Amino acid sequence: MIQKTHNFLLLFLFFPLIVFSQKENDLNYFEVAIQKKASSLKNEINFDKAQSFFIKEEWDSTLVYSMKQLNSSPNLETKDYCHYFRGYSLKKKDLYEQASVEFNSVNKSFQYYYLVDYNIGKLFYFEENFKKAIIYFLRAETEILNHRDESEIADIYTCIGICYLHLNQFTKAESYLRKDALLNPKQVTKSVIRANINIANFYYKQYKDQQAIYYFQKAYILSKDIKDFKLKENTAFNMAVVEENRSNYKKALVYRKESEDWKDSIYNQNKIWAVADYEKKFAVAQKQKQIKVLEVENKLKDTQRNSLFFASIGLLLILTGGVYLYGQKVKNAKTILLQKNKLDELNATKDQLFSIVSHDLRSSVNALKTSNAKLSATLETKNYDELHQLIIQNSTIANGAYSLLDNLLHWAMLQTKQLYFHKESIHLYSIVQQIEYNYKPLLLDKAITFENLVSKNIFIFVDLDSSKIVLRNLLDNAIKFSNKDGKISFYTQENNPDFCDLIIEDNGIGMSENTIKELLQEGELLAKKSNSEIIGTGLGLQLCKQMIKKNSGTLVIESEINKGTKMILSFPKTKTNG
């Protein structure tokens, strides 16, 4: 039993360690080198964009422009750079097989080939093939030391040390892990905390628990001075597992809660800032509306004073002035009436939205409250199987509420014209692949088979962020309305030379013709709710319709009850220079 506990801890702790060592300086020597290379190739626009997005860590755009450069230029050196950009980007997106293909496409004469060895070593590391990983790490070690980049040196020491540790070669493992710990002994940095966790794992692997726990506690304390939510989450989780192994379940629960709080902070921080900014702008807009109303009132008072002035001029002028003022009054009244009707319509829309969203949020919060009560009762009985199921249930409820709020934020930003759209050429297959990866847990939970049959040669000209929102919402709906052991397919059809049809097909519960007409109806903010709770608010689909329209696309729905649904999206293709 002790052996299982130790193995669980090691498997969880070792693999996140690689990502701790993020670059803390502006640019490293390789990034400076590729910038100089791009400056010397003034006519290679795609290469310049690829290296720029690589430095900014925008992996999707890096993949797009590096592929364009590979297709457009015969230059062998730039091809080596682009294959490296693509391999690194795919590795960051956890697409290891594709990354390996790109790294192996780089010529061994490439000036920075040791970085290729280093990254191939990481791929074997992630696959737990530690013997092969060490071979590639040792090939890269000498060149990395020569460049004296402290973050890279810390990474290579960490990787080699942990590989030796997994292979039970403790003497070699200790040598490399201590080298890592001595790089920055006097400063509280991410590398120092990472080194303490590595040393702790080293002792834990050998069942030297007291020495290991000392370093886990030290890493946890040092993380208090680091503004890195991911690092804080990891150290808190480590302490939770330590306390569980010592049977201190109350302390372990406190650490687990802290770990989850840091995890929530990572995902919610940007959304909180966006909502706060929107509330501020909304308050300013309300003040501006009040000012406009006062201006209208002042104009009416001025008109009344002018009418008295003109009345003092002869009967003819009084008659002429009266007709003029009457016309102005009617015009102003019409303007005010139109503004009132528009405000009434907006208020009705707002009330409908708040009513539906508040109902769904209240249901989610009530479900979460009930589940938490069961969680507390189950914790006292120490029924860990049921406890696990309740935690999964809580996570599902929280994710549903979060998705609703996320859609609400984007819908509000669309209505107030605050959402920024930047159309560019994107690789459709890669975007679908990324969306599939994000929804992998939900697909596995319902045992749904997912097929990405999108053509790998298709590029569409759309806004990247809004297109991801559309595909996420439609895949989420397909999963929601699919039965267990169902099937969801993404595939393309090219019936028009200027447009590409993307079909999202499931074999779920389907819908009636009336429901389809209601969902596609213009002027309706939300689909009407029926007695079935699975219908939802319809806000996600309304958001999709508006974003598809913004991207010059169209949406068609084909469905039959109990036979499944097809969502047919049509987007403009990227125009090629021909």
**Contact present, 568 and 558 (Cβ < 8 Å):** yes
From 577, 578, 549, select the one nearest 569 (Cα to Cα).
Answer: 549
92 touches 434 (CB < 8 A): no
Helix (H) or strand (E) holding 280: helix 249-311
Per-residue pLDDT, averaged over 303-312, amounts to 76
pLDDT at 305 over 90: no
Q: What percent of the chain has pLDDT over 70?
A: 79
Q: Is the pLDDT of residue 459 over 90?
A: yes
Domains of the chain, residue spans: 29-111, 269-415, 423-572
Give me the percent of the chain exceeding a pLDDT of 90: 21
- Residues near 163 by beta carbon (within 8 Å), at least 6 away in sequence: 125, 130, 133, 134, 137
| Length in residues, the chain | 578
Is the pLDDT score of 9 beyond 90?
no
Whole-number Å distance between alpha carbons of 189 and 202? 20
- Within 148-189, where are the H helices? 150-166, 170-181
pLDDT at 346 over 70: no
Cα gap 200→17, rounded to integer Å:
12
Burial 45-75 (b: 16+ CB within 10 A, else e): ebbbbbbbbbbeeebbbbbbbbbbbbeebee
The Cβ of residue 454 has, within 10 Å, a number of other Cβ atoms equal to 21
Question: What does the block give as tokens for 449?
Answer: 């088979």
d(CA 107, CA 389): 50
* 89-134 residue pLDDT tens: 999 999 999 999 999 999 988 888 989 999 999 999 988 899 999 9
Question: How do beta strands 499-506 and 554-560 pair?
Answer: unpaired
Q: What is the pLDDT of residue 246?
A: 81
Task: Give, in words, the CATH class of 423-572.
Answer: alpha beta
Residue 449 pLDDT > 80, yes or no? Answer: yes
- Alpha-carbon distance of 102 to 87, in angstroms, equals 5
Helices vs strands, H then E, count in the chain:
21, 7
Confidence of residue 411 (pLDDT cuts 50, 70, 90): low
Query: Looking at residue 182, what is its pLDDT?
Result: 62
Q: Which pLDDT score is estimated for 572?
A: 94
Cβ atoms within 10 Å of 265's Cβ, excluding its own: 14
User: How would you classify residue 10: left for phi > 0, otherwise alpha for psi between -120 and 50, otherwise beta?
Assistant: alpha
> What is the chain's Cα-based Rg?
30
Residue 508: beta bridge partners? Answer: none
What value does the mean pLDDT take over residues 528-542?
Answer: 57
Lowest-confidence range among 227-241, 341-355, 422-436?
341-355
Cβ pair 233, 259 in contact under 8 A: yes
User: Which one has a higher pLDDT value, 361 or 14?
Assistant: 361
pLDDT (tens digit per residue) in 166-198: 888 888 887 887 776 666 545 556 766 777 777
- H or E stretch covering 423: strand 423-427
What pLDDT is stored for residue 17 in this prediction?
A: 41
pLDDT over 90 (residue 568):
yes
- Confidence class for position 407, pLDDT limits 50, 70, 90: low
Q: What does the alpha-carbon distance between residue 31 and residue 55 come to, in Å, rounded to a whole number?
A: 7
Segment (H or E) for 38:
helix 29-40
Name the DSSP letter for residue 573. Answer: B
The burial of 204, by beta-carbon neighbours within 10 Å (0-12 exposed, 13-18 middle, 19 or more buried), is given as buried
Rounded to whole angstroms, the Cα distance separating 38 from 32 reads 10
pLDDT of 331 higher than 80: yes
Q: pTM of the prediction?
A: 0.40
